[in-house]
Amino acid sequence: MIAEPDGPEDRLRRFATIWSRTVFPVTSTSLTRPEFEEQLLPLARRLSEILRAHGFDADEARQVGAALIDAHCTDPEALTRTLDCVDAYLVLYCGEDGPQDELRMRSSRIQHAMAAGFAQALRERTLAEQEAIAQAALRAQGVVAQALHASEARFRAVFEGAAIGIGIADLEGNVLQVNGALLRMFGGSEQTLRSRNVLEWAHPEDAPQTWRLYEELVRGEREHYHVEKAFNRSDGTVLWTNLTVSLLRDADGEPQYQLALMEDTTERRLLNLRLRYEATHDALTGLPNRTLFFERLEKALAAGEGQRFGLCYLDLDGFKTINDSLGHSAGDRLLVEVADRLQSCATAPGEMVARLGGDEFVALTTGAATQREVDDLADRIMNALVTPISIDGRELLVRGSIGIVEGPAGERTPAEVLRSADITMYRAKSAGGNRSELADPEADARAITRHGLTTALPAALDRGEFFIEYQPLVHLGDGSVRGAEALVRWLHPQHGVLGPDRFIPLAEHTGLIVPLGRWVLEESIRQAREWRERYGEDTAGGPLRINVNLSPCQLTHPGLVQDTVDILERTGVSPDALCLEVTESALIGADDDLLKPLRRLAEMGVDIALDDFGTGYSNLANLRRLPVSILKLDRSFTQSMQQFPADPVDLKIVEGIVTLAHSLDLAVTVEGVETGAQAEQLRILGCDTAQGWYYARPGPPERLHDLALVDATG
Amino acid sequence: MERPAWAPRSIDISVPSVSRIYDYYLGGSHNFEVDREAARKAMAHMPGLPKIMQANRAFMRRAVRHAAAAGIEQFLDIGSGIPTFGNVHEVAQQAHPGARVVYVDHDPVAVAHSDAVLEGNEHADVVAADLRKPQEILSSPQVERLIDLNQPVALLLVAILHFVEDADDPYGAVAQLRDALAPGSLLVLTHASYEGIPLPAERAEGAVDVYKDIRNPLIMRSRDEIARFFEGYDMVEPGLVPMPHWRPESAPEDEDPYAFSGFAGVGIAA
């Protein structure tokens, strides 16, 4: 609508502009002022019409007042300003040329009606909004209550359905609520449980910190704690639990309740105890086993100053025979009876008996006076075995060997103590058994070395810890090197180079001598081939030969001939380059079976030497029967010739042996030649070859090269 | 023991609520005496507080119209409070009758009231959720039903971020929301600040303390700190400015001096 300047429309708009400018600052509308003016313009038009209407329409004026509320002019100041504006400008801009007094009167009535309409609308709006917000608050609370109810129902379900026991108590310890699982654990009714106070649940087995933790929690100094705890059930049995107690605080953080969660561990605990018993006791005899014994021994050895320990290590004599002849069941019954008797020997505090396995038992005594006690203990054990044991109507005489170790705590490890006891027991056994021996450090050391070497032997062969030294064999006639004796050595990682006397008996004992001997044979023959390849026939005495020792064990080994043949063929060395040395003692009383392999080898061209000749009691007549081509005189014959003049009797004996040997077509080699005089004497006596320090000590193969070359050129 | 996540907070209308206080500033009666008491206390320090709220509403109205004019038909209004008048859905649906609006508030009473107001409006809904947990907002059934995150969205954070303490990582929350929105989306934001308040800072602090007392601390941030909420978005002209200066439709000099408190801005996702 285009307003004619200063026409009624233009004047109406000017009124609306003034009105909106007056009221806008006190409205809370988000409209701009011009937009707000557009909102007021229709209201201004209505006011203008009411002003000039024939009759006064109070209702219409009230509606305009109410419309202000709809335009968000809710501040009473908006009404004041509106009325001021109407009062001052409505007649002026919208009265046109009407009678001023009537218009002013009409304006006043309009203002009253607008005020009433505004107030009415504001009241209604306020009430409606109050109603709306109250409803919203109620609904929100309903939603929260519903959610709370759902969450509480869920919590209830968790509480009731939980497999672990749950209980809530106040900070004084009064039990307020318990769940089904907890009831089932304790037995009895909810009523009896709820009438209790937590403090009544002390138990003799409570860990020392249990109630300190409780006090800290109820004082609010601790949020939770976890303990293993026992409870007495009403029926007198014990309930074991894993217990976690937590402090519950209110919204302001003040401690309010304690919440206990407990898991029934009674069964598990019993099972653990049984497993522990089974793990530490021998199933047959019920005695403590090796594990428990070691625990106790460890404890005894870790005891403080002034504390000592005494240990008897018992092994039954001849138990294997009983087991083999009467059967395992009889053997087991015997062990049970022995166990019972031993048990009665060690009843004092600090004493214990254990079965280590098989027929091995130990008795331990601890304290300050074990020096005396341990001997008494050993005596009691020996006495306990004196009475025969009746098994299946037989009276079996049981004897045992005891190794005793006694000493102060804090010096040795359990393993060291037990090893010493074991060694000592074996000493008692090898002294005939049915006795006790007291441990002795020197005897221990010897046994320990022997024991250590024995166990290290197999690995030593695998690891290549053995090597061979060669001692030249020299022809007494022309001084030329004819060959060498192979002597095996062990380069032990701890003990250094060991001679054969240290380990060959052990190797024979364990059977390792067979692979070891085979290795020596192979290595030596390979060396012989090397010499031959290098020097051919150039050495003065012809091709170099190799002497290898055979142990009695190897002699009886069925693979001897085949192994030797294989090695010779493989290396391409002819049999006559090899001489096998066998000790005289190994052939004493040898029958044909034993001699057969030697004979086979001799037929192939291998020389057989009779080593250490003269130390045994050889039947000289027997020499004919043996497939031997060389006698090696024991060094004891040559020892006396180191002085000059030599003992004439010795000379005669050697001369006799040489004559005898030669008459049987045997060559004679002498060992242990240490001086030139000796060598000369032996040459005169007719010996063929010699070895000894006079020529060379055993050494690496290269040394022999040098010696041989010296001979060849010199 | 911590309260389980599924156990809701109870509501206590004896504690003042910032959304009902806001309603009171805007002349509404959706409030209780405790709210009015807190509002009157704050106004004793800063009598012009209602003008700041009004300026917020006016800015929001202009920004929604700007968004609608840019073709945006989806609106996510977080911290919507008590709907009084000139609400986002009214403004937006005036421009696009099919415009979809989701309101979000963590005040259960505000949510219940919004629910009542929006009854029958199938293009608008309300979610009870917290700005500090943006994922709960984005994955709510209401957002999934009404908002297509592959299309541009106008995200409104009007007068809410100054109620989120730094410890609650408001920057992280806003970043998570920004990152969820498609290119062309708008971030519409206002924030309280000591900058622009026509009062000595000590007096403004009196009003800030009132909010601290009602356990809803008001966090005043500097312009630079507020600008960081737009990280990664381009600022729509005229940038981050006092509310009356943002695309005014009437002369800013006519505005109440309090209307210039704090900052308003709109950013656009590239």
Identify the helix (H) or strand (E) that includes residue B138: helix B134-138
Cβ–Cβ gap B109/A132 under 8 Å: no
Q: Kindly tell me if the per-residue pLDDT of B40 is higher than 60.
A: yes
Best of B3, B49, B250, B255 to disrupt the A interface (most A CBs within 10 Å) is: B250
The residue among B85, B87, B247 with the most chain A CBs within 10 A of its CB, best to mutate, is B85
Query: b/e string for A97-106 if b means 16 or more Cβ within 10 A?
Result: eeeeeebeeb
Contact check, Cβ <8 Å, A140/B109: yes
The CATH code of domain A162-270 reads 3.30.450.20
What is the mean predicted confidence (pLDDT) over B55-75? 95
Rounded-to-integer distance, Cα A523 and Cα A573, Å: 12
pLDDT band at B8 (very low <50, low <70, confident <90, very high): very low
The mean-pLDDT minimum among A359-363, A632-636, A641-645 falls in: A641-645
Instruction: Give dist(CA A364, CA A366) in Å, integer.
Output: 7
Task: Work out the minimum CA distance from B23 to partner chain A, whole angstroms.
Answer: 10
Residues A121, A122, A123, A128, Cα dihedral to 10°? 90
Residue A3 confidence (pLDDT) above 80: no
Per the rule left: phi > 0, alpha: psi between -120 and 50, beta: everything else, A674 is alpha
The CA distance from B71 to the nearest CA of chain A, in Å, is 22
Of the pLDDT bands very low, low, confident and very high (cuts 50, 70, 90), residue B4 is very low
Question: Boundaries of CATH 3.30.450.20 in chain A?
Answer: 162-270
B26 touches chain A (CB under 8 A): yes
Phi-psi map region of A449: left, alpha, beta (phi>0 left; psi -120 to 50 alpha): alpha
Helix (H, G, I), strand (E, B) or coil at A229: strand
Transcribe A430-497 into DSSP letters. Answer: HTTSSEEEE--HHHHHHHHHHHHHHHHHHHHHHTT-EEEEEEEEEETTT--EEEEEEEEEEEETTTEE
Q: Where is average pLDDT lowest: A174-183, A619-628, B90-99?
A: A619-628
Q: Closest by alpha carbon to A360, among A403, A301, A415, A310?
A: A403
Q: What is the pLDDT of residue B5?
A: 37
Mutation target among A21, A30, A151, A158 for the B interface, most CBs of B within 10 A:
A30
For B113, the closest of A31, A136, A147 (CB atoms) is A136
CA nearest to A424, candidates A446, A454, A456: A446
**Contact: B6, A75; criterion CB under 8 Å:** no
Instruction: Identify the residue among A22, A28, A35, A155 best suited for mutation to test binding to B, counting B beta carbons within 10 A and taking the highest.
Output: A28
**Lowest pLDDT segment from A503-517, A524-538, A602-616, B142-156:** A524-538
Out of B8, B116, B256, closest to residue A132 by CB: B116
Mean pLDDT confidence for B50-56: 92
Backbone angles phi, psi at A260, to 5 degrees: -110, 130
Asked whether the predicted pLDDT for residue A414 surpasses 50, the reply is yes
Which long-range contacts does A368-377 make (Cβ < 8 Å, 24+ apart)? A368/A306, A368/A307, A368/A308, A369/A308, A370/A308, A370/A309, A370/A310, A370/A406, A371/A308, A371/A310, A371/A406, A373/A310, A374/A310, A374/A311, A374/A312, A374/A404, A374/A406, A375/A404, A377/A310, A377/A312, A377/A345, A377/A346, A377/A351
As annotated, the residues of chain A forming the CATH 3.30.70.270 domain(s) are: 286-439
Cβ of B54 and A29 within 8 Å? yes
Average pLDDT over residues A196-217: 90
Contact yes or no for A419/A448 (Cβ under 8 A) = yes
CATH topology of domain A286-439: Alpha-Beta Plaits (3.30.70)
Query: Searching chain A, which residue's CA lies closest to the CA of residue B51?
Result: A28
Confidence of residue A690 (pLDDT cuts 50, 70, 90): very high
Sequence ranges of chain A with CATH classification 3.20.20.450: 454-713
Q: Which residue of B has its CA nearest to A28?
A: B26
The Cβ-side half-sphere exposure at A27, using a 13 Å CA radius, reads: 27
Show residues of chain B in contact with A153, CB under 8 Å. Answer: none
Q: Does A497 contact chain B (CB < 8 Å)?
A: no
Could you tell me if B105 and B79 are in contact, meaning their C-beta atoms sit under 8 angstroms apart? yes
Smallest CA-to-CA distance from A387 within A431, A428, A427, A340 is with A340
Chain B residues whose beta carbon lies within 8 Å of the beta carbon of residue A35:
249
* Confidence class for position B7, pLDDT limits 50, 70, 90: very low
- Which percentage of chain B shows pLDDT scores above 90? 76
Cβ distance A366 to A301 under 8 Å? no
Q: What is the pLDDT of residue A616?
A: 65
Number of continuous H segments (helices) and E segments (strands) in chain B: 10, 7
CA distance A483 to A546: 6
Predicted pLDDT of residue B2: 35
The rounded mean pLDDT for chain A is 88
Residues A553, A550: Cα–Cα separation, whole Å: 8
| Chain B interface includes A130 (CB < 8 A) | yes
Asked whether the predicted pLDDT for residue A462 surpasses 70, the reply is yes
More confident call, A123 vs A587 = A123
Q: Which residue has the higher pLDDT, A544 or A118?
A: A118
The answer, for B32 touching chain A at a CB cutoff of 8 Å, is yes
Top CATH class, A8-132: mainly alpha
Of B1, B29, B32, the CB nearest to A248: B1
Among residues 198-257 of chain B, which lie with CB inside 8 Å of chain A? 249-250, 254, 256
> Could A132 and B6 be called an inter-chain contact, meaning their C-beta atoms sit closer than 8 Å?
no
Residue A28 has pLDDT above 90, yes or no: no
Tokens, residue A250: 């209110």
Residue B65 contacts A, CB cutoff 8 Å: no
**CA–CA distance, A694 with A673 (Å, rounded to integer):** 6
Chain A partners of B61 at a C-beta cutoff of 8 Å? Answer: 30-31
Query: Class assignment of domain A454-713?
Result: alpha beta
Minimum mean pLDDT range among A190-199, B68-77, B129-138, B215-224:
A190-199
Q: Considering only the beta carbons, identify the residue of B30, B86, B250 that sits closest to A33.
A: B250
- Minimal C-alpha gap between A134 and chain B (Å): 8
Token output for A476: 């007494």
User: In degrees rounded to 5, what are phi and psi of residue A394?
Assistant: -100, 145
Q: Which of B13, B115, B249 sits opposite A137 (nearest CB)?
A: B13
- Enumerate the CATH 1.10.490 domain ranges in chain A, comma separated: 8-132
Pick from A30, A126, A143: which is nearest to B112 by CB?
Answer: A143
User: Which stretch of DSSP H or E encloses residue A126?
Assistant: helix A100-161
Shortest CA gap B270–chain A (Å): 30
Separation of alpha carbons B19 and B128, rounded Å? 14
Nearest-Cα distance to chain B for A262, in Å, is: 17
**Model confidence pLDDT, tens digit, residues A219-251:** 999 999 999 999 988 888 899 999 999 999 887
Contact status of A148 with chain B (Cβ, < 8 Å): yes
Alpha-carbon distance B107 to B128, whole Å? 7
Chain A and chain B share a number of CB contacts under 8 A equal to 104
Largest CA distance in chain B: 57
pLDDT digits (tens, 9 = 90+) for B167-198: 999 999 999 999 999 999 999 999 999 998 88
pLDDT band at residue A540, thresholds of 50, 70 and 90?
Answer: low
ipTM of the complex: 0.87
Cβ contact A136–B110 (<8 Å):
yes
Per CB-CB distance under 8 Å, the chain A contacts of B58 are: 30-32
Which pLDDT tens digit goes with each residue over B240-257? 999 999 999 888 888 889
Domain ranges of chain B: 50-198+220-269
Neighbour count for residue B261 (Cβ, 10 Å):
26
Q: What is the pLDDT of residues A258-276, one digit of tens each?
A: 999 999 999 888 888 888 8
Across the interface, whether the CB atoms of A28 and B112 are under 8 A apart is answered no
CATH number of B50-198+220-269: 3.40.50.150
Is B20–A133 a contact, with Cβ atoms under 8 angstroms apart? yes
